[in-house]
Structure 1
Amino acid sequence: MTRTAVHATLTEEIARAVEDLPGVAFLKPGLTGLLRSALPRSDRSTAAISSAGVRVSRSSGAEGWCVEISLVALRHMRGVDVARAARRAVEERVAALFPAETMPAQVSVTVTGLV
């Protein structure tokens, strides 16, 4: 599996794990996601849809992945609890996908709004 394929798969897995959490309304799309949303459904790629609100990178010298999540939470939930749950879910998912790494992910979660 190529590095790009691993990156895309990891991004999709993380997006799915966060979207399924109680209190998460949706992952906040970036500018690219907003522009792509104007395209007909058949023209959109799966990776582009599921990567909204998830940025995954890996430094050449650093161990593990650096994951940034931007999400919108439900108003009736405390934002800090939703952010903590999202962080835990991402850490567990990455650890499951990369069990040999001692520190598989450094995760930051930003709650950008409430609905």
Structure 2
Amino acid sequence: MTFGTADTAGPAHAALVDQVAAAAAGVSGVAFLRPGLADRLRSNRHRAANGNNSGTPAGVRMTRPDADSPWHVEIHVVALRTARTVDVARAVRVTVAHRLGALSPPQPAPRITVTVTGLV
């Protein structure tokens, strides 16, 4: 569900999503970001041949209705069984908020939703 604004298309948006994905994946207790259906269906060989990883990182969706609105960030992670799920979700939310604040400070505060979809 992308709203099709200029902010959600192109290399600047892709770079921002990559930064958010890296921040979320680096949180203690996160095993990995949940792959989407397209990522599961596309083979690694196909991605390497095309020089990309399906356009956007798995487990992160960033949208906003217009340039003046806050980012709506949805993150889906798989957590380690040894970590408390609620602590992992909170840490991901705080880390992503800090990263977005550093990357685009004049923007309104983002709305961040973190969902733990599994444990390993």
Q: By the TM > 0.5 criterion, same fold?
A: yes
Partner of 2:29: 23
| Paired residues of 1:14 and 1:93 also in contact (CA < 8 A) | yes
**What percentage of residue pairs aligned between the two structures are identical?**
44
Unaligned regions of 5+ residues in structure 1, if any?
Answer: none
Instruction: State how 1:41-56 maps to structure 2 within 5 Å.
Output: 42-48=48-54, 51-56=57-62
Partner of 1:90: 96
| Paired residues of 1:12 and 1:47 also in contact (CA < 8 A) | no
Unaligned regions of 5+ residues in structure 2, if any?
Answer: 1-6
Matched, 1:110 2:115: yes
SS class of match (1:48): coil
Partner of 1:77: 83
| Paired residues of 1:33 and 1:49 also in contact (CA < 8 A) | no
| Aligned residue pair count | 112
Report the alpha carbon displacement of residue 61 of structure 1 after superposing the two structures with TM. 6.9
**RMSD between superposed Cα atoms in Å:** 2.0
Q: TM-score, structure 1 length as denominator?
A: 0.87
Matched, 1:64 2:31: no
SS class of match (1:80): helix
Q: TM-score, structure 2 length as denominator?
A: 0.83
Query: Structure 1 CA distance, aligned partners of 2:55 and 2:68?
Result: 28
The one-letter code sitting in structure 1 at the alignment partner of 2:23 is: A
